[in-house]
Amino acid sequence: MAKAGAQFHCSACGAVHAKWAGRCEACGAWNSIVEETGPTTGPGGRALGRRRGRGMTLTALSDPEPPLPRARSGIDELDRVLGGGLTPGSAILVGGDPGIGKSTLLLQAAAAFGKAGLAPIYVSGEEAAAQVRMRAHRLGLDGAPVRLAAETSLREILTTLEGERPGLAVIDSIQTVWADTVDSAPGSVTQLRAAAHELTTFAKRRGVSVIMVGHVTKEGQIAGPRVIEHMVDTVLYFEGERGHQFRILRSVKNRFGPAEEIGVFEMTGGGLVEVANPSALFLAERDRPASGSVVFAGIEGTRPVLVEIQALVAPSGLATPRRTVVGWDAGRLAMILAVLEARCAIPFSGMEVYLNIAGGLRITEPAADLAVAAALISARQDIALPADMVVFGEVSLSGALRPVTQAEARLREAAKLGFSRAIAPSQVKAGAESGISIDRIADLAGFVEGVFGSFD
């Protein structure tokens, strides 16, 4: 008979099951279901008994609250992603693939916040203190006011933090931390949840900012996954393509600032270096105008970013020709191909299609639709677009172009980087002041005719 309070969790996705099974119905993982004993509870971690509580203290919505003082690291790309600096007492999760540079970023951040007077403590559960020291030496941070510890026991970590009260604690990584109050293996969902909860509560109670590193699994989720994302105030992802030196820090949730903000870094032999002008970097590898290459004027968070979209279209002998996308949504590509076929009579059947966002950036904005369509047609017809032209606009299923946000900022950025022409949806009013000549287009068919001439 199952013990009272026994529960079964999938250690891959966190789904709760009433009984054990070989395969998790929620995510399909095999052998991932583990028994979690202990009280089934709310986030407080304590079973609700009969005892009456003390009641809550209620306050008015209008009670004055002083603005949160922020600590700035001086690493602008990081401060902006945090929403203007580090909020005291905030809990932050930094997720990313193993080896992408999380430890490097956080050691540099700790050093910078140390110089700002936060007296940070860096707890490594993955590397020995000597290894972290070696990395610090390599990064030229030997003298930085950061104290180190190699520890995985949550009890030891919390006791030390209680005593020391630093302004910032970095826990690298949350997956290595284990609580002895929880009867399950380190790395399991229960352990992860307990550790993240304790650390988050500590952060709030003591006003100590806690940054936790979380490794992302193959499936692209922070292992032990979403279960801790809701607990923390801010979730940042550190992304990048292997083989590319660009790294992007992206906020996917932020209680203290805008989400979807990005910070761009370059990984060098001496650590991560800020990239103040990402557009110049993303366009740096572009040489002479080539067919299939289009510059998209995008917005990432609050900042305009120009990127090159590359397409290659080649005849295929396969019954189902290949469609390969890097840095964009495959479903969205299928939609653009269908719209081109149905509304502009430009078929791609029998052709392989490859789409790539240069520089390893991942774009989620629908405003990239028109630039993708332009790259596809340009590749298919082997006609290069003018080198001084940027493109943006969302394409609807009818083939009509829809307006996009912040057109002015996009055009200003394009002008700054020496572009002189733009193709944009007809609703775009702004632009005159940027000095860019704008071709306003109402639908995709009009765009094809205007830019590429007629098809046969």
Residues that bind Mg ion (CB under 5 A): 103
Q: How many CB atoms lie within 10 A of CB 165?
A: 12
CB of 195 to ligand TYD, least distance (A): 18
- 7, two tokens: 């529960």
Helix, strand, or coil here: 72?
A: coil
Q: How far is the CB of 264 from ligand TYD (least distance, A)?
A: 16
Question: Which residue from 14, 83, 89, 101 is in contact with ligand TYD, where contact means CB under 6 A?
Answer: 101
* Close Cβ partners of 207 (under 8 Å, ≥ 6 residues apart): 88, 89
The least CB distance from residue 157 to ligand TYD, in Å, is: 18
Tell me whether residue 119 is exposed, middle or buried, using C-beta atoms within 10 angstroms of its C-beta: 0 to 12, 13 to 18, 19 or more.
Answer: middle
Using the rule CB under 6 A, give the single segment among 28-36, 155-163, 246-254, 262-270 that binds ligand TYD: 262-270
The three-point CA angle 268-298-398 to 5° equals 140
Q: Is 170 helix (H, G, I), strand (E, B) or coil?
A: strand
Count of CB atoms situated within 10 Å of the CB of 129: 15
Which region among 99-107, 149-157, 226-234, 310-318 touches ligand TYD (by CB under 6 A)? 99-107
Tokens coding 79: 């401060």
The window from 133-141, 182-190, 282-290, 422-430 that contacts ligand TYD (CB under 6 A) reads 133-141
Helix or strand run (H / E) with residue 326: strand 323-326
Q: Which of 282, 364, 297 lies closest to 325, judged by CA?
A: 364
Supply the minimum distance, in Å, between the C-beta of residue 94 and ligand TYD. 9
User: Which CB sits closer to ligand TYD, 92 or 351?
Assistant: 92
Whichever of 27 and 139 has its CB closer to ligand TYD, that residue is: 139
Q: Which of 43, 98, 117, 435 is in the footprint of ligand TYD by CB under 6 A?
A: 98
Judged by CB under 6 A, does residue 240 bind ligand TYD?
Answer: no
Alpha-carbon separation of residue 181 from 92, 155, 185 (angstroms): 23, 9, 11
Closest CB 238 distance from Mg ion, rounded Å: 10
For tokens 């900012």, name the residue: 209
The one among 271, 278, 327, 431 contacting ligand TYD by CB under 6 A: 271
Q: Which does 64 bind (CB under 5 to 8 A by kind): ligand TYD, Mg ion, none?
A: none
Window of 132-140, 152-160, 192-200, 373-381 that interacts with ligand TYD by CB under 6 A: 132-140
- Based on the shown chain and the rule CB under 6 A, indicate whether residue 103 belongs to the binding site for ligand TYD: yes
**44 near ligand TYD (CB under 6 A):** no
Residue 271 near which of ligand TYD, Mg ion, none (CB within 5-8 Å, type-dependent)? ligand TYD
Quick check: 95 binds ligand TYD (CB under 6 A)?
Answer: no
**For residue 214, what are the β-bridge partners?**
95
Q: Three-state SS for 153?
A: strand
- CB atoms inside a 10 Å sphere around CB 1: 4
DSSP-assigned letters across all residues of 151-195:
--BHHHHHHHHHHH--SEEEEE-GGG-B-TTS-S-TTSHHHHHHH
Regarding 412 and contact with ligand TYD (CB under 6 A), the answer is: no
Contact between 425 and ligand TYD by CB under 6 A: the answer reads no
Contact residues for ligand TYD (CB under 6 A)?
96, 98-104, 135, 138-139, 267, 269-271
